Structure 1
Amino acid sequence: MTKQRSFLKWPGGKLRVMAEITAMLPAGKRLIEPFVGSAVVFLNTNYPSYILNDKNQDLINIYECLAELGADFIKQCKRYFTPKYNDPDKYYLLRDKFNKTTDTQKRAALFLYLNRHSYNGLVRYNSSGGFNAPFGRYKKPYFPDKEMNFFYNKCKILAKVKFCCEDFSKILQKAKVGDVIYADPPYVPLSETAHFTSYQPNGFDLKAQHKLAAMVNKLAEKNISVLLSNHSTDFTKEIYSNATTIKEFEVQRFISCKVAERRKVKELLALFVEDKP
C-alpha cells in the first residue's frame, strides 16, 4: 500500500512507522488526534470521522484554510515557490511579514513557504512566539501540489473532519465510546540534557506527560481505546505500565542539523484498551 505524505515538513512525522501504527490502531467510528502534527495518521487511515487538534495555531490555520478553500488556497501558496523567493533576503522579509500579519490566509500561505524553505524544514519559534528558523538554501524547494490536493479531497469527500486548537486535555474530554484516540505528544527526552520543546512556543514537560498518561488510563476504563507514541525510556515504560500492549522498535531520526547525529532511536507504541472479563 502506497503511503500518503504530508504536504508539510514536520519533526516527528509518522510516515516511516505507519505500518506499526495502523497494525495497532483499533477500528472505530471516529479517530481523535490531540497532537495531529503533520496529519500523516489522518491521511493514511480510513475512519468515517476525525477530530484533528494541535496547540500550534499556525498548523491548524493552514489545515483549515486548505480544507475550506482548496484550489484557490493552493494557488495562493504556489506564488511563493519561484526562484524570486528562494533567496535569503526575500526569505527573511517574508518571515518578518509572517510574524506581523493578522490575515489568516496570508499567514497560512507564508507558513507553507517558511516550512519548505527553512533550514532542514525546521518549524521553530522564539519565546515571544515569533517564527525564527533560518533560511535553508535549497536549490529548488518542492511545492506539494499533489499532497495538498489529497488533503483537501479527504476533508471534503472521504471523511468528516473537525479541526481544533486546544489543550490536549480538553480534546480528550470529547471522547465517547466508539471513538479511538491516537496520541503523539512531544516526546520525552532521551537524556537529561536533551531539548524536546524547541519546535513549539509552548513546552510539554514531564508533568504534562504524567497528566496525559493518567487521562489515557481513565479513558481505557470507559472502553475508549487509546494508542500512544513516545520514545522508549524507563520513564515512558513506567507511566505506560498499565498499557494492554507495548511494542518497541527503532526509528531513524532526520531532524538533527548534524548528519552524524541522525541516528536510530528506540520508540514505543502503547495501546490502552479495556480489559475484557
Structure 2
Amino acid sequence: MTVIKNRAFLKWAGGKYGLIEDINRVLPQTRRLIEPFVGAGSVFLNSDYDEYLLNDVNADLINLYKLLQSEPDEYIKQAGELFVPQYNDKDRYYDIRAKFNESTDTFERAVYFLYMNRHGYNGLCRYNLKGGYNVPFGRYKKPYFPEKELWLFAEKSQKATFTNLCFREIFKQAKSGDVVYCDPPYAPLSPTASFTSYSGQGFKLKDQQDLALMAEQTSQSGIPVVISNHDLALTRELYQQAKLEEIKVKRTISQKAGKRTKVGELLALY
C-alpha cells in the first residue's frame, strides 16, 4: 500500500520530505515529539504524536506558524492575494522584500515571508548580518500557492506549541514521555557549502558540539534523541556515543537538476 506523504507549504533548504520513511522508522512512538529545529515541519506533518513542541531560532518562521494556527482563514486569504501574475515580477518582489525588512507588523511580515519563500531564488531563506532578508528574485513562471498545504498545517498545528528559543532551552523542557528529533543546520561539506545563515546567525562548531553533548545527556535521562546531519568525519566523532545509521538522500540546493547528487547522511540515535 502506498503511503501518502504530506508536503510542507514552505520550500526549504535541507527539508526532510525525502527522509520521512527513514526518520519515522527510528523515532519511538511516545506521547510528545520535540523538534528544536522544526524548519518547514516535514517530520511534524508526517508523524502521529499526541502533542508537539516545535521550535526554531527563526522568529519569522515561528510567527507565521502561530498565525496560521490561530487565524488560518484571514492569513491564507491575504497570502493568496500576492500569488497573482502581477506580483510575479522582479520589481514587485524587491519592493515587498524592502517592506518586509522595514515592517514590525507580525501579520504583514508573515504574509510577505510566504510570498518571498515561493517567489525567491531556489526557496532559500537567508538574512544578512543586520537581520535583513536578502534572497534574490527567483524568476519562476508561475509560483505555486500552497493553499491545501497551508490548511493541512493549520489543522495539525492545533496539537502543537510553537517557540522561538535557543535549542539549549528546548532540551531543558524535555521530560519522560518525550522524544527529541533534531535537524540542525548541517555541518558544511566544504567551507563554501554552508546554509547556516537563515536565522541571521550562524550555527558554529561549538553549537554542533553542544547539541551532541545535550543529546547524550538527555538520553541518559531515558528520553530518546535522534539527530540528522551530513556523514562526515566530524559528525561521526561528535556522535560517537550514538548508534549511527547511514542513509543517502538527494539534495535540491543546486538549481541545475544534473548537479543534484546524492550525499551521505547520518541518523544518530541516542
TM-score (structure 1 length as normaliser): 0.94
1:101-125 residue CA offsets vs partner (Å, 9 max, x unmatched): 1110010000000000001111111
Tell whether 2:15 aligns with 1:13.
yes
Query: The residue matched to 1:114 in structure 2 has which SS?
Result: helix
Shift of 1:258: 4.7
Tell whether 2:258 aligns with 1:256.
no
Structure 2 unmatched runs, 5+: none
Tell whether 2:86 aligns with 1:84.
yes
Verify the 8 A CA contact 1:197 1:204 in the aligned structure 2: yes
Query: The residue matched to 1:269 in structure 2 has which SS?
Result: strand
Q: Distance in 2 between matches of 1:250 and 1:46?
A: 24
Tell whether 2:221 aligns with 1:222.
yes
Aligned to 2:139: 137
Aligned to 2:268: 270
Aligned to 1:43: 45
Q: Name segments (4+ residues, structure 1) moved above 6 Å.
A: none
Q: Distance in 2 between matches of 1:166 and 1:52?
A: 10
Q: Distance in 2 between matches of 1:39 and 1:193?
A: 26
Query: The residue matched to 2:265 in structure 1 has which SS?
Result: strand
Tell whether 2:12 aligns with 1:30.
no
Verify the 8 A CA contact 1:188 1:196 in the aligned structure 2: no
**One-letter code of the match for 2:79?**
C
1:1-277 equivalences under 5 Å are 1-156=3-158, 160-243=159-242, 245-272=243-270
Verify the 8 A CA contact 2:121 2:136 in the aligned structure 1: yes
Query: The residue matched to 1:9 in structure 2 has which SS?
Result: coil
Shift of 1:3: 0.6
Query: The residue matched to 2:87 in structure 1 has which SS?
Result: coil
Shift of 1:191: 2.7
1:198-236 residue CA offsets vs partner (Å, 9 max, x unmatched): 433110011110000001110011000001100011111
Q: Distance in 2 between matches of 1:257 and 1:82?
A: 23
Q: Distance in 1 between matches of 2:127 and 2:138?
A: 16
Structure 1 unmatched runs, 5+: 273-277
**One-letter code of the match for 2:199?**
Q
Q: Distance in 2 between matches of 1:188 and 1:196?
A: 9
1:45-88 residue CA offsets vs partner (Å, 9 max, x unmatched): 01000100000011101101101101211001000000111111
Q: Distance in 2 between matches of 1:49 and 1:154?
A: 10
Query: The residue matched to 2:33 in structure 1 has which SS?
Result: strand
Q: Distance in 2 between matches of 1:260 and 1:2?
A: 27
Cα-Cα RMSD: 1.1
Aligned to 1:275: none
Query: The residue matched to 1:229 in structure 2 has which SS?
Result: strand
